[in-house]
Amino acid sequence: MVVGSGPNGLAAAIELARNGLSVAVLEAAGEPGGALRSAETTLPGFVHDVGSAIHPLAVASPFFRSLSLERYGVRWVHPPAPLAHPLEGEEVVLLERSLEETAAGLGEDGEAYLRLMSPLAADLERLANLAAGRPALPRHPAALGASALRALRPAVSLARAAFRGGRARALFAGNAAHSFLPLERRPSALFGLALGALGHAVGWPFPEGGAGRLARALVSCLRALGGELLTGFPVGSLEEVPPARAVLFDVTPRQLLRIAGERLPGRYRRALARYRYGPGAFKVDFALDGPIPWADGRCARAGTVHLGGALEEIAAGEREVWRGGHPERPFVLLAQHTLFDPSRAPEGRHTVWAYCHVPNGSTFDMTGRIERQIERFAPGFRERVLTRRSAGPADLERENPNLVGGDINGGVMDLGQLLTRPARRLDPYSTPVRGLYICSSSTPPGGGVHGLCGYLAARSALRLLRGSRRSAPRPPAARPR
């Protein structure tokens, strides 16, 4: 039994099913996917992603690649440029698929950018397989080792050491801010390096028609393997789970304590109670009567746009959020799907997906501040808004209980909790209760749509169920396209 049908729950179920086990997934909501869903949240015909919207990790994931999800209807949309980062008074900084083209736009820091990012982009396949538990010899071991040390640094420190100009620093800071950490905190640099490398190696694509297409493909894959999905099936306690040899929970520590707390030993229960959740997200969906009127039209080449200006401004905003405040100029992550996927809106109309970071559990309405940040780099944006729908941390958690206080990463991803989530154990997916596992983003490698938390939890369960580490075959290694 797998409780929860987010991407990790579905990944766990698929891995168990394709190793010959009978599997059922229990989902409390009326449809599967968790935060991997799409809906007409603003106006009829306008399809918005409810949670995740841009999926470089899904394309790079060795597990998802081994499933050949294209057979189940997934068509990846690749914008010409993965990312745009506009700056006031300057040309926009573009992260292109080409390392060389990206470097050419960074002026004096072009060569430094190539030295920093080239080894990571070249070895992305091996790094992805390492995350899936299959280590491989890297092509550039010395350079990759140096990158690993850099990844443990704070993003501000690495950006200032690696680059002299503001353009490269701003690009790196925007990627690092996906960590939800203060950029002066370790290992925020890891996220700047990883997301940049992903952009060059596989792009920052999204599924045509909405993120829900990816969830439906995973469900189709599960059913093709004989697995079952039961929606509208909430689980409030272990007694409500039908008998099974193993139960895997795609939930965070807070939900696991509520469901199974009485069965868990005191030491493990206390460890879960100490688990730390990070800042939340405040999200706004916009329906527009035309495309965003960017001051720099080259922003329209990118599916994702980072709005936050220079390194110093982004760092100040993320630091304020961590301290419990609400920045006047928040760092905004924006996706403009309909420029490249017209199926998501009526002809000539467009959608915008945008969010910023806020303190966990915040009740402050950031809609106006998000709009002002967009207007700052796209004068006239407000005149194109037909309607909007805002969702704060409480709304996000109500739609998906795993988003505790609006935390979309399943918990803080700092050095103290990145690899020891949810508790310090040799096997982080198992619990002290035999046959009970946790497979959510609150386990390594953490947040993101990659399915690896579920896949690795399933491998852990298979070792018990089969009685041998080598009894079940591994999926083939994936190769970036």
Query: What CATH number should be reported for the domain holding residue 453?
Result: 3.50.50.60
End of a domain among 399, 423, 455?
Answer: 399
**Residue 234 domain-assigned?**
yes
In this structure, the answer to whether residues 304 and 384 fall within a common structural domain is yes
**Residue 301 domain-assigned?**
yes
- Contact indicator for 235, 394 with CB cutoff of 8 Å: no
Residue 124's pLDDT is 80
204-261 pLDDT, tens digit per residue, is 999 999 999 999 999 999 999 999 999 999 999 999 999 999 999 999 999 999 999 8
Under the banding of pLDDT at 50, 70 and 90, the label for residue 475 is: very low
Residue 151's pLDDT is 84
Distances in whole angstroms, Cα of residue 470 to Cα of each of 67, 208, 464, 466: 21, 38, 11, 9
In this structure, the answer to whether residues 281 and 392 fall within a common structural domain is yes
**Residue 62 domain-assigned?**
yes
End of a domain among 201, 222, 250?
Answer: 201
Residue 477's pLDDT is 39
**Residue 15 domain-assigned?**
yes
**Residue 44 domain-assigned?**
no
Q: Which domain holds residue 292?
A: 277-399
* Angstrom distance (rounded) from CA 245 to CA 434: 9
Strand segments, DSSP code E, in 330-446 are 332-335, 350-358, 385-391, 436-438
**CB-count exposure of residue 38 (10 Å: 0-12, 13-18, 19+):** buried
In this structure, the answer to whether residues 353 and 244 fall within a common structural domain is no
Residue 374's pLDDT is 98
In this structure, the answer to whether residues 268 and 367 fall within a common structural domain is no
In this structure, the answer to whether residues 212 and 63 fall within a common structural domain is yes
Higher pLDDT among residues 470 and 317, named by residue: 317
In this structure, the answer to whether residues 426 and 364 fall within a common structural domain is no
In this structure, the answer to whether residues 265 and 296 fall within a common structural domain is no
Residue 471's pLDDT is 39
In this structure, the answer to whether residues 458 and 385 fall within a common structural domain is no
In this structure, the answer to whether residues 359 and 411 fall within a common structural domain is no
Residue 123's pLDDT is 80
Closest CA to 401 of 235, 174, 246: 235
- Contact indicator for 51, 447 with CB cutoff of 8 Å: no
DSSP state of 380: T
Q: What is the arithmetic mean of pLDDT over 376-403?
A: 97
Structurally, the chain folds into a number of domains equal to: 3
User: In this model, does residue 455 exceed pLDDT 90?
Assistant: yes
In this structure, the answer to whether residues 389 and 426 fall within a common structural domain is no
End of a domain among 201, 220, 235?
Answer: 201
Query: Helical H runs in 152-187?
Result: 155-162, 166-176
The contacts of residue 271 (CB under 8 Å, 6+ apart) are 422, 423, 424
User: In this model, does residue 469 exceed pLDDT 60?
Assistant: no
Q: Which residue has the tokens 């960017």?
A: 294
Distances in whole angstroms, Cα of residue 61 to Cα of each of 25, 387, 420, 444: 22, 36, 21, 14
In this structure, the answer to whether residues 332 and 364 fall within a common structural domain is yes
pTM of the full predicted structure? 0.93
Q: What is the arithmetic mean of pLDDT over 344-373?
A: 98
**Residue 451 domain-assigned?**
yes
In this structure, the answer to whether residues 287 and 378 fall within a common structural domain is yes
Q: What is the arithmetic mean of pLDDT over 289-293?
A: 98
Distances in whole angstroms, Cα of residue 19 to Cα of each of 139, 246, 437, 439, 463: 32, 14, 17, 17, 11
Closest CA to 147 of 98, 194, 188: 194
**Residue 480 domain-assigned?**
no
- Contact indicator for 260, 238 with CB cutoff of 8 Å: yes
15-61 pLDDT, tens digit per residue, is 999 999 999 999 999 999 999 999 999 999 999 999 999 999 999 99
**Residue 80 domain-assigned?**
no
* Angstrom distance (rounded) from CA 227 to CA 292: 43
Residues in the chain: 481
172-186 pLDDT, tens digit per residue, is 999 999 999 999 999
